[in-house]
Amino acid sequence: MNESAKAARPVGVSIPVRQGIDVRLVATGLLIVMAIVFFGLKPWDDVHPAIGFVRAFAEAAMVGGLADWFAVTALFRHPMGLPIPHTAIVPRNKERIGNALAAFLLKNFLIPRLIARRMRHVDVAGAVGRFLAEPAEGGGRLKRGASRMIAEALGALDQDRLGGMVKTAIADRLRELNLGPLLGQALTAALAEGRHQPLLDGMVKWGSKTLDLNAQLIHQMVHDNSGSIVRLTGLDETISNRIVAGLQKLLADMAEQSDHPLRLRVEESLERLAYDLQHDKERQAQVARVR
């Protein structure tokens, strides 16, 4: 294509037309109707005074329609392809308009402190996860595309190297943390809210089941460690039965009574442990060594 052909090509962009009713066709039809009314009633101007008002209305409608058409068209292209000055405003100034909009957004919305304040209250990872799991209606294609892109990005990573980096980062952060006070605070909060009670109940139930499963073992141990006279008289069986029954009653009482002395002793031990984790340097050092 030569330079003259390029210069002759109209400058501008096409205005999209809404599907269904052609708005331009309706507007053109109304303009033609107003023109017919204006020129068609001219011979009857003297018939009745109302004719003048009707023609004035039609004239105003024609002028307004032409002015609106010219104004809207001039924003995007040269009307009828004529290089009229001050037309095709958007195509000729799109870079300047874009720069002005970018500067406005940068100065008024993309301020670091404003973004930081808003991002503190935004769960980006959670929002992305929820969208990918259950996108809104019509988001299936976007969901599939985003999921595929994320999967490909993760697949392209060096898994061994990435895993090593994550492990190293976690290990470094854990080494920097003083876990003792954190564990102590968590344990104190759990005790204050009674969250340890289900744990104690579970331990008591586990003890009862273990005792039932190993009752015969207790009988055998008592029998093996009893003297011959005790075995001959059958006292070993009586003693072992008493031991098993006593343990069963103890565990049953602990399960039924939240203020059982043994449960209270356990709670006191946990409270003391929570205090030591927060204030005892030696206990904190023990936690650090285990870590």
pLDDT of 174 reads 64
Q: Which is more confident, 164 or 140?
A: 164
Q: Is the pLDDT of residue 42 over 80?
A: yes
186 phi and psi angles, rounded to 5 deg: -65, -40
Residue 239: count other Cβ atoms within 10 Å of its Cβ. Answer: 17
User: pLDDT digit string (tens) for 61-109?
Assistant: 999 988 888 888 888 888 877 788 878 888 888 888 888 888 887 787 7
How many whole angstroms separate alpha carbon 202 and alpha carbon 208? 10
CA distances from 192 to 61, 182, 187, 271 (A): 80, 15, 9, 10
Cα torsion angle, 209, 210, 216, 222, sign: negative
Identify the H or E element spanning 226: none
Cα–Cα distances (Å) from 40 to 50, 54, 197, 289, in that order, read 14, 11, 96, 103
Cα torsion for 133, 134, 140, 146, to the nearest 10°?
A: -30
Q: What is the pLDDT of residues 216-262, one digit of tens each?
A: 888 888 888 877 766 666 777 888 888 888 888 888 888 888 888 88
pLDDT of residue 140: 59
Confidence band, pLDDT 50/70/90 cuts, at residue 60: very high
pLDDT computed for residue 85 by the predictor: 81
Of 82, 56, 79, whose CA–CA distance to 67 is shortest? 79
Highest mean pLDDT among 35-49, 118-132, 154-168: 35-49
Higher pLDDT, 22 or 39: 39
What percent of the chain has pLDDT above 70? 72
**pLDDT in the model for residue 9:** 46
Dist CA 128 CA 4 (whole Å): 52
C-beta separation of 191 from 270 below 8 A: yes
pLDDT at 139: 53
Would you say the C-alpha torsion 229, 232, 235, 239 has a positive or negative sign? positive
d(CA 77, CA 29): 22
Q: Residue range 29-36: average pLDDT?
A: 89
pLDDT at 144: 65
Q: pLDDT tens, 137-162? A: 555 566 566 666 666 666 666 566 66
- Percent of residues, the chain, with pLDDT higher than 90: 2
Q: Which of 221, 276, 267 is nearest to 244 (CA)?
A: 221
Residue 148 CA to residue 59 CA, distance in Å, equals 60
Model confidence band, residue 6 (pLDDT cutoffs 50, 70, 90):
very low
Question: From CA 285, how far away is CA 291, in angstroms rounded?
Answer: 10
pLDDT at 160: 67
Is residue 34 a contact partner of residue 65, using CB atoms and an 8 Å limit?
Answer: yes
User: Over the chain, what is the mean pLDDT?
Assistant: 77
